[in-house]
Every structure is written in structure tokens, then in C-alpha cells.
Amino acid sequence: MNADIASMIGKRLGLSALTLLIVSFAVFVATNLLPGDTATILLGQAATPEAVAGLRQAMHLDDPAVFRFLRWLAGAVTGDFGTSYANNMPIATLIAGRFVNTMELAGLTAVIAVPLALTLGITAAVLRGTLYDRIVAVLTIGVISVPEFVVASTAVLLFAVYLKWLPAISFVNEVHSLTDLLRMYAMPVVTLTFVVSAQIIRMTRAAVIETLSMPYVEMALLKGASRSRIVLRHALPNSLGPIVNALALSLSYLIGGVIIIETIFNYPGIAKLMVDAVATRDLPLIQTCALIFCLGYLILITIADIIAILSNPRLR
């Protein structure tokens, strides 16, 4: 790796760190603008003004906002995210189990969605203009046009209410066999697969078509190279940058964009935990969840940028 590429990667990492700092500050400001008082919500409407004032002082809610943000940021850098207001337990402990659940859901979805989307995108590009390509394009546009909550609600009505094949709520703690695993994760995974795959298919198809139109591909065809060799040895490596970026954007949704899915299926992940934290005005927990979402997004995007840099001969 030469100095120019190392400098470029270093700039990407520095920009990611700056973005994370800006996002954490923006989330802190947004959470403090939420209507309602945290102390009043925790104590209830019947609480006396003295009790509310005492709780606010104990929770340092009366301190200037800048001091509270710097105190939380200093703790976050060292791995101490503070204590949850509503649950009265360390946030790191509260998030640990939920993070595993979110990663399980994201992992199962990625295992199904990524190979499926890449296969459909590549084959649609190779068979451009055929009936197969048109069918894939129509289905992809249809999936993108339908919001995920509609797909999830339809799945619940069809498979849980009418057919009674699958449970409407994902009780992940009750998974004791492969059958239980399939039943509990079927609808969330299928819904997320629909949402995630569509964008990957479109980006993969566009990238491969652009590469296949290059002069060196035409030269390889004239020399008698097989279509499969051209696609696997020439088109895909040179389309890697856009495809990896599409994968990173789609997979980052599985970490931070599954709020609707986890809420509909009552899935105990980080997104559902963040929704509950908003309801109770649990500010440190909201900030930590948002920070995890942003960090996951930045890690995936940064890895995609690095792969795009290393796979581009012009940059090398």
C-alpha cells in the first residue's frame, strides 16, 4: 500500500470520526428538545414539585446542557454510557442482550438477502432486455415502492391471523430448535429481505451493465472468451466498488433502520429499545442507541470505501 492510498484511507477514517461526533451532538440536542420532563414522566403526574425537583437534581438534569453532553461523551469514549433513567441499570448491560438479538436478525437477513440480490442483479444484467430482466425490474420497483410497514403488516395478517402458520410476535427467548428458529424469524427476515434486496439488485445490475459495455469486454468477446468468464473474471471485479457501496448502504439499514420491523413484530432488539426509551424520555439510552446505529453505518460505509479504493486500479 503506497502513501497516497494510506493517506486517502486515513482521511476516510478521520471523516468518519468527525461525523460520529457531529451526530452524537445532534442526537443530544434533539433528545433535549423532546416535549415532556424526564423526572415528571418517571415519577408520574401525581408527583409533588419537591419530588420532581429532587429527582432532577439527583439526575443532574438541571446542569447546563453542554456539561451534560461533555460528561456523557467522556463516558462513551471510555465505554461507560451511564445509567438508564427508566431501568436504573447500566446502559451497557441493558444494550448487550439487545445488540446480540439485532445482530442475529441482521445476520440471518444478510445470509439470505445478499446472495439472492447479487444473483438476480448479475443475471438481469447479463440477460439485459429479455423477459427475465423485465420481470426482475418490475418486481424490484414494486418492492421499493411498498413501505416496509405495509409488507410487515400484510405478512402478519396473512400468516399469523388468517393462516395461523407463524406467530405474530417474535419470542426469541423461546427458540429451542431449528423449527422454533424458523417460526420466530421467518416474517421479520422475509420482510427485511424484501426491503434490503431491491436496492442491491438495482445497483448490481447497473454496475455490471456499465462494465459489460466497456471496450475491453467487447475485445474479450471477439477473442472467444465465454460469457461466464467475462462476467466472473472481468465484469464483477471492476464493478466491485459500486456493488460494495450498495451492500454497505443496505446492510447498514439492518442495524439502524429496523425500528418499524422490530416494533411491529415486538422483536427485542436495539431499535425497539430505543423506541421504548423515547417514550420514557430516557435520554442517555436514546443517545447510546443512536450512537450505535451511526457507528454501525460508518463502519460499513468506511469498509466499502476502503474496498473501492483498493479494488480500483486507477487509484492504485
- pTM of the full structure: 0.79
Report the pLDDT value the prediction gives residue 116, as an integer from 0 to 100: 92
Helix, strand, or coil here: 239?
A: coil
Average pLDDT, the chain: 81
Distances (CA, A) of 33 to 28, 37, 72, 93, 267: 9, 10, 17, 27, 28
**Range 66-75 contact pairs with CB under 8 angstroms and sequence separation of 24 or more:** 68/28, 69/25, 69/28, 72/28, 72/284, 72/287, 73/24
- The model's confidence at residue 195, banded by pLDDT at 50, 70 and 90, is confident
- The model's confidence at residue 134, banded by pLDDT at 50, 70 and 90, is very high
* pLDDT tens profile 106-129: 888 889 999 999 999 988 988 888
Residue 15 has pLDDT above 60, yes or no: yes
Report the pLDDT value the prediction gives residue 221, as an integer from 0 to 100: 73
Other CB atoms closer than 10 Å to residue 26's CB: what's the count?
12
Smallest CA-to-CA distance from 212 within 193, 232, 184 is with 232
| Fold of domain 94-311 | MetI-like fold (1.10.3720)
**How confident is the model over 232-241, as a mean pLDDT?**
74
* pLDDT tens profile 252-307: 888 766 778 888 888 888 888 888 888 777 888 888 888 888 888 888 888 888 88
Which parts of 33-85 fold into alpha helices (H)? 38-43, 49-58, 65-77
Distances (CA, A) of 175 to 116, 183, 184, 200, 252: 26, 9, 8, 30, 26
Alpha carbon 33 to its chain's center:
25
Other CB atoms closer than 10 Å to residue 78's CB: what's the count?
7
Taken in order 228, 230, 236, 237, the sign of the CA dihedral is positive
Smallest CA-to-CA distance from 24 within 296, 302, 288 is with 288
**How confident is the model over 192-217, as a mean pLDDT?**
84
**How confident is the model over 202-207, as a mean pLDDT?**
87
Residue that is written with C-alpha cell 422454533 in the block? 180
User: Residue 133 belongs to what H/E stretch?
Assistant: helix 131-145
**How confident is the model over 150-165, as a mean pLDDT?**
82
Cell numbers representing residue 312 in the block: 480500483
